[in-house]
Amino acid sequence: MAGFTLTDRQRASFAEDGFVVVPRIIPPATAARLRERFEPLFRGEFETGLLPDEWNWREGRDAPDLTRQICNGWKADRAIAATVLSAELGAACAQLSGWPGARLAQDNLLWKPPGGKSLGFHQDASYLDWVVPPEMTSCWIALDDTARDAGTVNYVRGSHRWGLSPMPDTFHAPEDPLAALNDAAARADAEPELVPVEVPAGGGAFHHGRTWHGSLVEAAGVGRRSLVVHCFSSEAQFHESNVGAIYGRYKRVGATAMDETFFPILWTAAGHRSSFIESYLAGGWGGT
């Protein structure tokens, strides 16, 4: 990751469109190494001995045409963690957002199989009423070459200006993946322009927390894997009373501070980075 930065033009595109497509975020060799981790992780083979916070698809339990998802795979696998905990990605998210620094919110490992069903269009910020400020900027990284008919992510240009909508009723395999998007566009008196992200493995995009995005059916028959790094401001805290159904488990009684063990700080302009990260990547902090 050393040396990755965004250009002024890319930052301007993000501000205007609510996202920016980047042809190369990680080297192809890194993308290949991360692809290799997907099968063992979805089989429940966790290198560190820790389970991820969410493991939404199990072989033999769930339909084979559903998109597979793991959240916070960085806790279960150090190869995943080496990219997720990147200072460069944190710096990019912070600078795009005007934050003093970036804290990891969570990661997503997404695996859409050949013929895989859609993921409903949504805004990430709709899920953040348990965070202050309720803001998120994300980096979506393709681990396979992507194409519009292979179920790649689609962003809706300029939709970060439409205001915040409620969470869609269904995220995985909705009957109409565009329903919530079309309702929001009608309220904003806008015509949604879908932009599919077509990049080689290792490329991807950064997107604003209020940008509408989702993916359609994988019709090409090749499947695709991706890794998403979601960031909060380094100054983010828990909401005093709103409880996150999953990540509220990390809130301490009577306190709103986010523990860096669970929400590590990736980068700040002042030079801070969570102290455990390097030792963890080298094999420390529990596990084997």
Quote the pLDDT of residue 284: 78
Per-residue pLDDT tens for 12-25?
A: 999 999 999 999 99
Quote the pLDDT of residue 146: 97
Angle at 130 between CA 126 and CA 135, to 5 degrees: 55
CA distance 209 to 232: 10
Average pLDDT over all residues of the chain: 96
Q: Can you tell me the mean pLDDT for 185-214?
A: 98
Token duo for residue 103? 């804290």
Quote the pLDDT of residue 1: 60
In a domain, 50, yes or no: yes
In a domain, 2, yes or no: no
Q: Can you tell me the mean pLDDT for 87-99?
A: 98
Phi/psi at 244 (nearest 5 deg)? Answer: -75, 130
In a domain, 177, yes or no: yes
Token duo for residue 134? 């309720």
Q: 33 near 79, Cβ under 8 Å?
A: yes
In a domain, 260, yes or no: yes
In a domain, 72, yes or no: yes
CA distance 216 to 45: 29
pLDDT at 269 over 90: yes
| Amino acid letter, residue 24 | R
19 by DSSP, 3-state: which?
strand
Q: 104 near 230, Cβ under 8 Å?
A: yes
Quote the pLDDT of residue 288: 37
Residue 196 sits in a domain whose CATH number is 2.60.120.620
CA distance 135 to 91: 16
Domain that holds residue 103: 8-281
Quote the pLDDT of residue 286: 47
Domain count of the chain? Answer: 1
Per-residue pLDDT tens for 240-250?
A: 999 999 999 99
In a domain, 287, yes or no: no
Helix (H) or strand (E) holding 156: strand 153-156
In a domain, 161, yes or no: yes
Phi/psi at 237 (nearest 5 deg)? Answer: -135, 165
CA distance 260 to 7: 29
Q: 42 near 26, Cβ under 8 Å?
A: no
Higher pLDDT, 9 or 5: 9
pLDDT at 252 over 90: yes
Give residue 285's pLDDT band: very low, low, confident or very high (50, 70, 90). low
CA distance 20 to 13: 6
CA distance 137 to 89: 11
Q: Specify the pairing of strand 204-208 against strand 137-142.
A: antiparallel
In a domain, 288, yes or no: no
pLDDT at 287 over 50: no
pTM for this entry: 0.96
Alpha helices in the chain (DSSP H): 8-17, 28-42, 78-84, 87-97, 179-187, 277-281
231 by DSSP, 3-state: which?
strand
228 by DSSP, 3-state: which?
strand
Q: Can you tell me the mean pLDDT for 216-230?
A: 96
Q: 152 near 228, Cβ under 8 Å?
A: no
